Structure 1
């Protein structure tokens, strides 16, 4: 960074950042004398659902346009029946002074009332006897009774709903004046990215550049089928250069493409379209002033109203800030969001610019908190809608009270939008805070969020919070929480449950055995997944639960028996057959984390073989997951490691089985009648599902689906 570069350290709160941006946009409009918001346009009424009216709408004709029968019976003139009684009925002639009608029929001329069949007797000779007097307009929908001609139907800035479309057409309004949609242009700046979508011209780009030079070129593609620049053209922005290589150009097939797929910009484009804005997605930009200027100018020439940038790293952010210092206006250089930092707002030729971090959770959170309310305001829509609109969720979603299954910390000075998984467990709604990490796993599992303001306080485990769901509230009753170990069988189970006639959305929350059991105690999950060895003879889980929750009333249902052993290179070149071979053949080993079930099983196998940790080279080297163990063996960092067959198979390695561990679902008796739990138990007993488990390799299903009793051991 140059010595004279500005260093921004002040953090702006979310509310202040929005307030400053709106004021800056107002000042830019007053200074230029130009309105940068979408202008009015004519739209056929039948295509205007979701549009915002730019002028009041007046009914062109009444509805109904003529009198209609509101009930089935006989249409007549009320004055002809004033003297009618049961003893002296008024006799009318069908087809002359009365007429048979059905509900919705046009009222015949000269008629002004409907006599129900209960008050009419037919003599079979054309005569109809009316036994009670009828009042004028009885059972009749009069002209304009629903909508009167010249009646004001809707005011300016009303958002048209499907029911509104029907009313407008009935009132003779075949065309309405609405605000045009916002045009929003998006791109990623800097970093080592390539466009995510390459088919059908959706988001491809070509360009040239070097690690220090300017990236130039052309690109095509947009979220709505239009390119990165003017709609209907094929000109986009420059692709991202990488250090020492040319990117975006025709790839050298001799070298692998090491660029990252840009999945963030398409996700933000989808969010933009969910707000009824047009999203134009450009190819990744080089982190240069020239590339930025070219992107902005082409976007503005195409009618852009707002621009959104995902800034890849600090180096790219420094370039972006320098550009706006010279040619635009930085409004808030550091908006205090978590996840979502660093986020920046600026103004360029009267348009708002949003610079977001290129991380899944961070960019989407910042979009929801910062970009959505701005776009809605510019679209003349109520900002209060942004909570539901940010994920395309129905407007029926509203805040709800939930009990925390884990603590929720505050970060002074930062607005925290904590992602949540939500479910109805027993008689309460449970909110499980997800990691504030920036990976895709968090974003795809997020079902709602909790907002802690910059000056707010955190919330401890078990406390009640206000949560904003991103899905309809009724889905809480079809969501199943499982706490405990993570395994591919649980992924199979989640997939199969969504195929059931009454789908269940299963969320498996990775946790150690102690935390999983604690979640059961607090009624924060429907089941715990345990695989804790109680002894060296094949007993699992019962002793662990009895020691830590002796009063718990639970049942044990087997999920599967998972083989454990050693992951070895393809072909098993060192000829491992037993765990003693690790010492005898002087092999390098990688281990699982202390406290994990695989580590416990590995230690038990060592004891049975008369070995100690000191006999195993690399015993202290720990890997965070089963796949991490397999990766260490694949890359030659280790000769073997304790793991499972599925992980070895996934990486084309071999596996030496040495034992098994029983994976059980521990379910409180109070939840046995829950339809979601019933669906799980039923699934585990299906032969077809057991075949799917067997197909994974490294699993046994001899006990799968069985309710277990103390003393049931492996292979029983």
Structure 2
């Protein structure tokens, strides 16, 4: 009998190991409490790796476990594939590098160069090496020279940012035609249609669209497959979930659309709410939970149709999401922020589709909450009449979120001296409206009826935005002279405000969800002194009824 430690070789003429806990030593003698059979508790030579045995095949991505296996097998060096090197070349006269923007700010018509930073971060997840080059202005010769220098370097792939469309200063395709072969100019995806695929000096060159969402979609669809081929492995696909859209979504026939959506579980179903379909809005990706691909051979998706969504966030986040659909209000953003502070695992997914659409979402089981401020001119009551009309068979609770001030939003100083609704009929005044079904639109129509004004007399009545902030931005940018919206939106952008009405903005909750943790957490937050203080600080709000259950 010999004493031995784990990992030591067996002494000669021995063939089993007895665990120390099964051995008792008494007065210099050893007592064995448990028998063993030959070679028990012994790791035999060659049990793991034997000489000439294949440890890893070619084109295998080495994992942390593989490193252990290689070292155990006495392999201290292996030949690996070179990491792909990617050069990113931003272009555009209007594009300002981040260091200059930080130092001097930007002027009207300029944009901060952000796409190269975004794509380089994506490249960092692919095992590639990224090199960002300085911004190249919209000048043909300089762009051509820069591309030539890039393809003559040790880079394996070159990405040119912007200039891939068909504008008068979009020189990318012309430069690539001079230097090499343009394989494709324009692809049947949306966003990302202006993508260029070219070959120069036998190296792939990608013309990446300038709009940020187009840039990302193009990168994922064309750059990632090339890098995958270079490295010999397939990137892990995003997990997918079966979802139902909260509304029908039309789409262009012949183009595959990548629809960004917010997701949340309502009842037994995962509900997908479409986000604005603008390629220039990066927040439609930062706030999205998933992407639904609408095939090129289809003209859209029906409301009750089940489809697959590719997840951009962990699945657990979707199950912990509170879905709010309905009218837009800035306090919903505040609610979202404050909720994260008290419960980091809960999220809010809000979609601005108007008060009536919010009530219909409750009716169809597509939302936990609906934001609404629908004024009934016959009774002078907010929301309750419409709830009785549209949700007669669905028991709901109605909770006041805020009382808010609606009015005309005009530029600072009110250069056109707009004073009332009647001024909207002036020929020199351009108005911006809210979408059909929005409570603000209903309020405007009520005021017009009171004053016997036909909507056709208002220039811009048919120009619609889906939020108060979008209306305020239109006024700030000069796209409109005036819009109807809340005071908080005017204050946020330092615009002037002419009061028109005080209204009640309520949250509608199905009774079946009232006692759930999600809803009770929201109610607790709404009733807190801290939340009410933050609301009042925004301006244009009253909280005297905040948290009051009206029904």
Q: TM-score range by the shorter chain?
A: 0.7 to 0.9
Assess, with a 3 A threshold, how the Cα gap between structure 1 residues 428 and 651 changes in structure 2: closer, same or farther: closer
Equivalent pair of 2:325/2:352 in contact (CA under 8 Å) = yes
**Which of 677, 680, 688 in structure 1 is aligned with 2:519?**
677
1:193 paired residue number: 95
**Which of 99, 108, 114 in structure 2 is aligned with 1:263?**
114
TM value normalised by structure 2: 0.86
Matched, 1:428 2:269: yes
1:114 paired residue number: 17
2:188 paired residue number: 336
Q: Aligned partners of 1:139, 1:595: CA distance in 2, in Å?
A: 75
Matched, 1:374 2:240: no
Equivalent pair of 1:336/1:415 in contact (CA under 8 Å) = yes
Deviation at 1:293, TM superposition (A): 2.9
Q: Aligned partners of 2:153, 2:25: CA distance in 1, in Å?
A: 73
Q: Aligned partners of 1:487, 1:527: CA distance in 2, in Å?
A: 13
Matched, 1:541 2:383: yes
Task: Count residues with an aligned counterpart.
Answer: 544
1:246-291 superposed Cα distances (whole Å, 9 cap, x missing partner): xxxxx9x9x9463222322322222222222122222332344422
**Which of 492, 502, 506 in structure 2 is aligned with 1:660?**
502
Assess, with a 3 A threshold, how the Cα gap between structure 1 residues 181 and 551 changes in structure 2: closer, same or farther: same
- Map of 1:90-239 to 2, 5 A cutoff? 97-99=1-3, 104=6, 106=8, 109-110=11-12, 112-116=15-19, 119-123=22-26, 125-148=27-50, 151-190=53-92, 192-198=94-100
1:480-515 superposed Cα distances (whole Å, 9 cap, x missing partner): 221111121011111122223342221211112232
**Structure 1 gap ranges (5+):** 1-96, 205-250, 389-397, 710-716
Q: Aligned partners of 2:379, 2:459: CA distance in 1, in Å?
A: 24
Equivalent pair of 1:629/1:643 in contact (CA under 8 Å) = yes
Structure with max Cα Rg: 1
**Which of 487, 490, 509 in structure 2 is aligned with 1:648?**
490
1:295 paired residue number: 146
**Structure 2 gap ranges (5+):** none
Matched, 1:488 2:330: yes
Q: Aligned partners of 1:302, 1:100: CA distance in 2, in Å?
A: 60
1:584-603 superposed Cα distances (whole Å, 9 cap, x missing partner): x9996846436532343355
Assess, with a 3 A threshold, how the Cα gap between structure 1 residues 451 and 579 changes in structure 2: closer, same or farther: closer
Equivalent pair of 2:360/2:390 in contact (CA under 8 Å) = no
Q: Aligned partners of 2:445, 2:173: CA distance in 1, in Å?
A: 55
1:554 paired residue number: 396
Deviation at 1:348, TM superposition (A): 0.3
Equivalent pair of 1:579/1:606 in contact (CA under 8 Å) = no
Assess, with a 3 A threshold, how the Cα gap between structure 1 residues 572 and 118 changes in structure 2: closer, same or farther: closer
1:613 paired residue number: 453
Q: Aligned partners of 1:637, 1:364: CA distance in 2, in Å?
A: 29
- Map of 1:337-376 to 2, 5 A cutoff? 337-376=189-228
1:501 paired residue number: 343
Q: Aligned partners of 1:421, 1:153: CA distance in 2, in Å?
A: 45
Q: Aligned partners of 1:504, 1:484: CA distance in 2, in Å?
A: 20
Assess, with a 3 A threshold, how the Cα gap between structure 1 residues 694 and 162 changes in structure 2: closer, same or farther: farther
Secondary structure of residue in 2 paired with 1:153: coil
Equivalent pair of 2:355/2:437 in contact (CA under 8 Å) = no
Equivalent pair of 1:590/1:623 in contact (CA under 8 Å) = no
Assess, with a 3 A threshold, how the Cα gap between structure 1 residues 675 and 105 changes in structure 2: closer, same or farther: farther
Q: Aligned partners of 2:525, 2:506: CA distance in 1, in Å?
A: 14
- Map of 1:325-474 to 2, 5 A cutoff? 325-382=177-234, 385=235, 387-388=237-238, 398-440=239-281, 441-455=283-297, 458-474=300-316
Assess, with a 3 A threshold, how the Cα gap between structure 1 residues 153 and 504 changes in structure 2: closer, same or farther: same
1:550-595 superposed Cα distances (whole Å, 9 cap, x missing partner): 001221122211122344666789999x969969x99968464365
Q: Aligned partners of 2:482, 2:241: CA distance in 1, in Å?
A: 50
Deviation at 1:332, TM superposition (A): 1.7
Matched, 1:522 2:364: yes
Deviation at 1:423, TM superposition (A): 2.1
Assess, with a 3 A threshold, how the Cα gap between structure 1 residues 489 and 307 changes in structure 2: closer, same or farther: same
1:284 paired residue number: 135
Q: Aligned partners of 2:383, 2:244: CA distance in 1, in Å?
A: 28
Q: Aligned partners of 1:635, 1:415: CA distance in 2, in Å?
A: 33
Deviation at 1:623, TM superposition (A): 6.3
Q: Aligned partners of 1:364, 1:549: CA distance in 2, in Å?
A: 41
Q: Aligned partners of 1:329, 1:281: CA distance in 2, in Å?
A: 24
Deviation at 1:700, TM superposition (A): 1.4
